């Protein structure tokens, strides 16, 4: 009876404790994700792009070859420190999408304005907001952002705080992307931040929405440097 109680107590102790692991990593980024598809939601002039993804490579993988190869592709190779995981989740290091997004194409099936008839590219009237880890990696982990100062700079615009900054992470050394879609470069859209505190791949703000009382659609297509495309058509009821 005593042995049974001892075994039961040990089992309870094991299952009630968090399990932590430390893994040596050449890179700052702890895990890479592959995009499977995208979806969108709308809130006024803002459209939120969400990516469904799966794990591609992780510092805690038994097979380190793919993780190291991916880290080298982005120049994330001189971090050389241990990364702590709680079970499979990295605690103090960020995660990122592996795909380099080459372009974002935005169209609609209605006329937005006189300069943007149905089917034309809307990239010059749409601003992209997001977060990238690429500048920090390229600077050998020195070029970070003061998120407190950045959010204070936009404190006079409540809509930015409510529609954009509330969905961004302040935990890691990410850079804030704030550019017209037509001005985005592949470097801007490389190593986009993945995190549960940042549920969206990116946020689109339209300068204005079309003046129509009829149902219409907005199509967003992302193209990466490997030739893959991710498309979603959002239906909008005015």
At 108-163, the pLDDT tens digits run 999 999 999 999 999 999 999 999 999 999 999 999 888 888 888 887 788 888 99
Query: Which run of H or of E encompasses 67?
Result: helix 64-73
Low-confidence spans in the chain with pLDDT less than 70: 1-18, 20, 63, 87-88
Distance CA 97, CA 92 (A): 17
24-52 burial by CB neighbour count: b if 16+ within 10 A, else e?
A: ebbbbbbbbbebeebebebeeebbbbebe
Q: Residue 164 has which token pair?
A: 């954009």
pLDDT at 12: 40
Query: Tokens 């943007």 label which residue?
Result: 116
Q: What is the pLDDT of residue 18?
A: 54
Please report the pLDDT score of residue 149 as a whole number: 87
Strand order across the 81-86 sheet: 20-25, 81-86, 89-90
CA distance 233 to 194: 23
Q: Is the separation of the CB atoms in 94 and 172 below 8 Å?
A: yes
Residue 98 corresponds to which tokens in the numbers above?
A: 């592996």
Q: How many helices (H) and strands (E) does the chain have?
A: 5, 13
């Amino acid at each position: 009876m005593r042995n049974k109680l001892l075994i039961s107590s040990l089992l309870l102790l094991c299952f009630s404790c968090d399990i932590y692991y430390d893994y040596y990593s050449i890179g700052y980024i702890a895990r890479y994700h592959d995009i499977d598809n995208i979806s969108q939601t709308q809130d006024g002039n803002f459209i939120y792009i969400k990516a469904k993804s799966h794990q591609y490579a992780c510092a805690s993988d038994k097979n380190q070859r793919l993780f190291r190869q991916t880290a080298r592709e982005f120049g994330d190779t001189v971090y050389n420190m241990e990364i702590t995981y709680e079970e499979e989740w990295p605690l103090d290091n960020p995660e990122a999408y592996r795909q380099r997004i080459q372009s974002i194409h935005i169209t609609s099936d209605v006329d937005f304005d006189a300069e943007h008839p149905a089917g034309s590219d809307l990239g010059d009237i749409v601003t992209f907001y997001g977060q990238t880890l690429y500048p920090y990696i390229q600077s050998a982990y020195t070029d970070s952002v003061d998120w407190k100062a950045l959010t204070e700079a936009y404190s006079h615009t409540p809509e930015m705080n409510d529609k954009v900054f509330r969905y961004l992470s302040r935990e890691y050394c990410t850079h804030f992307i704030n550019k017209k879609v037509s001005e985005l470069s592949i470097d801007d859209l490389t190593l986009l931040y993945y995190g549960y505190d940042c549920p969206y791949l990116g946020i689109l703000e339209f300068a204005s929405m079309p003046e129509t009382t009829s149902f219409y659609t907005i199509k967003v297509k992302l193209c990466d440097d490997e030739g893959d495309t991710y498309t979603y058509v959002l239906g909008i009821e005015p």
